[in-house]
Amino acid sequence: MPRSTTRRAIPFAAGALVGILTLAGCSSTSDADSADSDTLVVSTFAFGVEEFQEAIVDPFTEATGIEVEVETGSNADRLSQLQLAGGDPGIDVMLISDYYAALGQEDDLFQQVDAAQVPTISEIAEFATEDTYLGPAYSYQLNGTLYSTDALTAAQASSWDLYGDPAYSGRLALPDIAVTAGQLTVSGIADTFGDGPYDIDTALETLSDWAPGILQFYSSSTEVTNLLTQGEIVAADSLSGFATDLVASGEPIAWTAPETGRYMATNRAMIPTGAPNVDAAEQFIDYLLSAEAQTSSAEIVGDLPVNLAATVPDSITAVVGDIVTDPVAAGYETLDPTELVPTRSEWVDRFAREVTAK
């Protein structure tokens, strides 16, 4: 939690649970509306769908007999579709990034999860049950630096000063503020060089100074991993998940946490207002948070687990080490959406004018 903010565990009440939402380009609204009323409709991200099916959906159906229809799309598109649904979402569970979950809550698009109906909530980390959100986190993402071990040491890569070092000018990448890693980067810089994670003036001034030496402000994981594996850059600020496959493949690449300004994002399990199958949604979330499902998701999908009893595979510990056992103890904090949601549009506009336009 941010230094100045204390948040308590969610007193999840008023029955409901997380549903995965569908998205444009991947499935249509009519598909959702025509789904069998006895089918649980889960909306999730457009990547890793087959792995999600194997790790979570199929075992859940086998254990409960509840059929699941998976719909996919980006955070923004799925949230927009939910807004257009007008209280008749046709979605039972939406798996969505924390910022977008907070945006949806502002418009009353989600209802609160009933912890009494989801007992595995008691097994997950405290940061996953912040009362800022109406639904629990089921995974999280750590921000840090992905780097070439042929060019840099871990100590060099862990310093924010790397991005302003003229010795590496033109060989570095940073995320655009519009992507998850982007906001975490801005807040990490603000915290390190300014008065805290929401000191946008200091963050943008620092980034503006660095911008001439940044080869690319990227907007997708594919962009940054390609730049690194092709030798066009030696380092990029990124989420730890970007490194898992690269490290496992034996590439001379590693990931490290920053010395200071350590921030993480969470993925939330949310239940849309008006969800047709709340009981089944609650069962799905309860399974999603279980040690069994969290272990399987970590192994097959690569998600960082929030269940404290989950087993973490070597492929993840090879990247983040002991941080995965307790990211908060390792200095990682979540950002307060009440600080970000009201300022988001302004910050995105300023980032474009003051940083990427350089």
Task: Give the residue range(s) of CATH 3.40.190.10 domains in the chain.
Answer: 29-139+265-322, 143-263
For residue 247, give the amino acid letter: V
The whole-angstrom separation of Cα 83 and Cα 93 is: 15
pTM over 0.85: yes
Question: In angstroms, what CA-CA distances link 223 with 227, 230, 233?
Answer: 6, 11, 11
The architecture (CATH level 2) of 143-263 comes to 3-Layer(aba) Sandwich (3.40)
- How long is the chain? 358
For residue 10, give the amino acid letter: I
Please list the rounded mean pLDDT of every run of 10 residues in the chain (358 residues): 34 35 34 55 95 98 97 94 93 96 96 97 96 97 98 98 98 95 97 98 98 96 94 98 94 97 98 97 98 98 97 97 97 96 95 94
The whole-angstrom separation of Cα 114 and Cα 140 is: 21
For residue 279, give the amino acid letter: D
The β-bridge partners of 333 are: 263
The β-bridge partners of 107 are: none
The whole-angstrom separation of Cα 74 and Cα 56 is: 20
Fold of 29-139+265-322: D-Maltodextrin-Binding Protein; domain 2 (3.40.190)
> How high is the pLDDT of residue 11?
40
The whole-angstrom separation of Cα 137 and Cα 7 is: 14
> How high is the pLDDT of residue 358?
76
The answer to whether the CB of 43 falls within 8 A of the CB of 91 is yes
> How high is the pLDDT of residue 22?
31
